[in-house]
Amino acid sequence: MDLTTRFAYDSFRPGQEEFARRVYEGCMSRQILIAEAMSGFGKTAAVLVGAVAASEETGSRVVYACRTKRQILRVIEEVSRMQRKHRVEAASLLTKFDYCLLMRQGRPVSPETFGLYCKFNVQNNLCSYFLNVTLSPGEFEQAVNRALRAVPSHLELMRDSESIHVCPYEVAKMAVTQARVAVVPYHYVFDERIAPTLFDRNSLERSKTILVVDEAHNLRDFLRGVGSASLSLDQVDGAIREADALFMEEAARSLKALRIILQRTVSSSPGWLLDRELLLEQVRSEQGTAWLQNLAFELTACSEAAWGSFQYRGLPSFIPKTGEFLSRLSSAESEVLVNLDGGLGLLEPNPVASLGQHLQRFRSSVLVSATVNPSEVFRRSLGLDKVEVSIYATPSDPSVTVRTVIDTGVTTRYKARTPQMFCKIADKIAGIISSTQNGIGVFASSYSVLQPIYEMVSKRADGRNMVKETRGFTSQEAAEAFDSFRSDRGSVLFAVQGGRFSEGEDFREDMMDAVVIVGLSLPPPTATLYAEYECLKRAGEKDSFLILSRLPALRKAFQAAGRHIRNPGKKGMVFMLDQRFDSSAVRELMPAWLRTDIVSGDFNPPRLAEISAEFWSRPD
């Protein structure tokens, strides 16, 4: 097996070839492999070459699943590089919403109602882009072949499809089912409502697919989101209004009756857990046995026809949302019903219950992450302790030099968040900025911590280009912020841990010299968390706080801390501003590169500047 001829670069970095070989062997021997390598190691290129080599030898496909669009783009960049050296057909697939050409000609449609919009137009032959897929098979096939030869950018695919008047999603979908390497969001693999698009209804067979899961430490969070649904009473009110406007009189009457029952359920229970069976029993006794199922069907199926018939100004959004919730309420068995502020939630208390079985359906699975340590807890957190799993962790790159400074004089603990505390944190960050010439990334535990810190530091560190992440950034806004950061070598980026800049963004070479981690982003106590705690406790898990709260928060911090290490030989500083980072338990959980050279204490700003200056004055 020759990895070098397939590898996108002239040579391997230290440890990369061994990593690629381990992936290759894991894929050949049908393993579930957990593979860890530090930030900046070049994991993607190494995993790709190992997985592609195995897929070519076994006649299987590679499906590379990523959490975010940004991560998909980065994988695509690596695939394109590989294609310049080694001929391999590859494609990527986002959501229909990302590709729709019809929508661009009319009124905007929200992502929530888009499914209804596309289905209606396709079923009623109103979308010529879709019709042309079968009316112009030759041109469609050529577009697919072009996409397969070299993965097009999103813009290129849109332009190419528009020029022959076909739906770009259909082109991308067909390309993905024929490609050796398919790069897709997690949804196409782990969301059972969407996965059939790729696997059951198309040509991909799981048993002939090598699955690669990028940033696999996110899987539990993702599966929790997929397994949950919520419905507020305000949304039921919205559905009533929409049903009235669409002349769905029967549905409007039923929704009003439903609202009364739901209101009663929510207000009669003081705790977070609601009795789902009791609610269903009440519905059955008051309205009849199949009433709920019929209403769910009417809301999901009939609103579409009603919308088309009456040319309602806007697409209904609350009706399908209510319909979907009711379908899940009346069918799913494992989900628990909880009281969310002003509404109801359905939660899957053990979101990883069937993950092991699911992964076993693939020829092999490679779960890639920079933060696997401790591997046994990682395994249990993904419910993989009952299936056979191999673990491979690359040794830390000795050429990377990182000094970690833990500051114990501050914290973002909720009760300690006073203006004085934020001032103290801002002073320390200003001290760090004053002694660091190149770029700095400041990663806060949440947006509510980020905003005051940003305002205070801006006043203290005048003359530096300050760039801030904002909640709900569009891809365009994020790209502009990134360009602004890149435009000035001394820029300071303010972002949140776990956000788009702390994972998946590539701060190449010497763009960033220091990272400041502000606070620990423990998840807030919610009904979802209580339900999961309860479930883990019942399963005999002793480390439920570690698995559900502490480790995810630390992983976000460690991921962000590694942002500035993008190549071998990199030198940089990490400042962890929160006393909660200063414990032996946290040090044990740190990746090795982060705990090689640690100093801790309550440092004043001049001392922080001194520590930083001393580090940068060390000979290489």
* Residue whose C-alpha is closest to residue 39's, from 370, 478, 457: 370
DSSP state of 546: I
* 3-state SS track over 183-228: EEECHHHHCCCCHHHCCCCCCCCHHHEEEEECCHHHHHHHHHHHCC
Nearer to ligand SF4 among residue 136 and residue 438 (C-beta): 136
Q: Are 372 and 558 in contact (CB under 8 A)?
A: no
Tell me the C-alpha distance between 110 and 321, whole Å: 13
Nearer to ligand SF4 among residue 53 and residue 94 (C-beta): 94
Q: CA-CA distances (angstroms) from residue 309 to 120, 304, 331, 490? A: 11, 9, 30, 59
Q: What is the closest distance, in whole angstroms, from the C-beta atom of residue 341 to ligand SF4 in the complex?
A: 35
Say which residues have a Cβ less than 8 Å from residue 467's Cβ, sequence separation at least 6: 481, 484, 485, 491, 492, 493, 494
Nearer to ligand SF4 among residue 308 and residue 409 (C-beta): 308
Q: What is the closest distance, in whole angstroms, from the C-beta atom of residue 362 to ligand SF4 in the complex?
A: 28
Q: What is the closest distance, in whole angstroms, from the C-beta atom of residue 312 to ligand SF4 in the complex?
A: 18
Nearer to ligand SF4 among residue 114 and residue 603 (C-beta): 114
Tell me the C-alpha distance between 529 and 532, whole Å: 5
Q: What is the closest distance, in whole angstroms, from the C-beta atom of residue 186 to ligand SF4 in the complex?
A: 21
Nearer to ligand SF4 among residue 100 and residue 522 (C-beta): 100
Q: What is the closest distance, in whole angstroms, from the C-beta atom of residue 106 to ligand SF4 in the complex?
A: 10
Nearer to ligand SF4 among residue 27 and residue 118 (C-beta): 118
Q: Are 251 and 298 in contact (CB under 8 A)?
A: yes
> For residue 523, how many C-alpha atoms fall within 13 Å in the half-sphere facing its CB?
18
Nearer to ligand SF4 among residue 63 and residue 101 (C-beta): 101
E strand or H helix at 338: strand 336-340
Q: Which two tokens stand for residue 516?
A: 């400041």
Tell me the C-alpha distance between 600 and 578, whole Å: 10
Tell me the C-alpha distance between 329 and 427, whole Å: 51
Q: What is the closest distance, in whole angstroms, from the C-beta atom of residue 129 to ligand SF4 in the complex?
A: 4
Q: Are 378 and 392 in contact (CB under 8 A)?
A: no
Q: What is the closest distance, in whole angstroms, from the C-beta atom of residue 160 to ligand SF4 in the complex?
A: 14
Nearer to ligand SF4 among residue 160 and residue 610 (C-beta): 160
Nearer to ligand SF4 among residue 18 and residue 98 (C-beta): 98
CB atoms within 10 A of CB 4: 13
CA angle 542, 587, 580 (to 5 degrees): 80
Q: What is the closest distance, in whole angstroms, from the C-beta atom of residue 127 to ligand SF4 in the complex?
A: 3
Q: What is the closest distance, in whole angstroms, from the C-beta atom of residue 133 to ligand SF4 in the complex?
A: 8
Q: What is the closest distance, in whole angstroms, from the C-beta atom of residue 94 to ligand SF4 in the complex?
A: 11
Judging by beta carbons within 10 Å of its beta carbon (0-12, 13-18, 19+), is residue 40 exposed, middle or buried?
buried
Report DSSP letters for 450-515, one per residue.
Answer: HHHHHHHHHHHSTTS-EEE--TT--HHHHHHHHHHHHHSTT-EEEEETTSTTTSS----TTSEEEE
Nearer to ligand SF4 among residue 99 and residue 186 (C-beta): 99
E strand or H helix at 331: helix 318-331
Nearer to ligand SF4 among residue 127 and residue 182 (C-beta): 127
Say which residues have a Cβ less than 8 Å from residue 126's Cβ, sequence separation at least 6: 120
Q: What is the closest distance, in whole angstroms, from the C-beta atom of residue 307 to ligand SF4 in the complex?
A: 14
Q: Which two tokens stand for residue 62?
A: 């590679």
Nearer to ligand SF4 among residue 167 and residue 557 (C-beta): 167
* Residue whose C-alpha is closest to residue 495's, from 529, 476, 518: 518
Tell me the C-alpha distance between 145 and 133, whole Å: 14
Q: What is the closest distance, in whole angstroms, from the C-beta atom of residue 97 to ligand SF4 in the complex?
A: 8
Contacting positions for ligand SF4 (CB under 6 A)? 96, 99-103, 118, 121-122, 127, 129-130, 167, 169
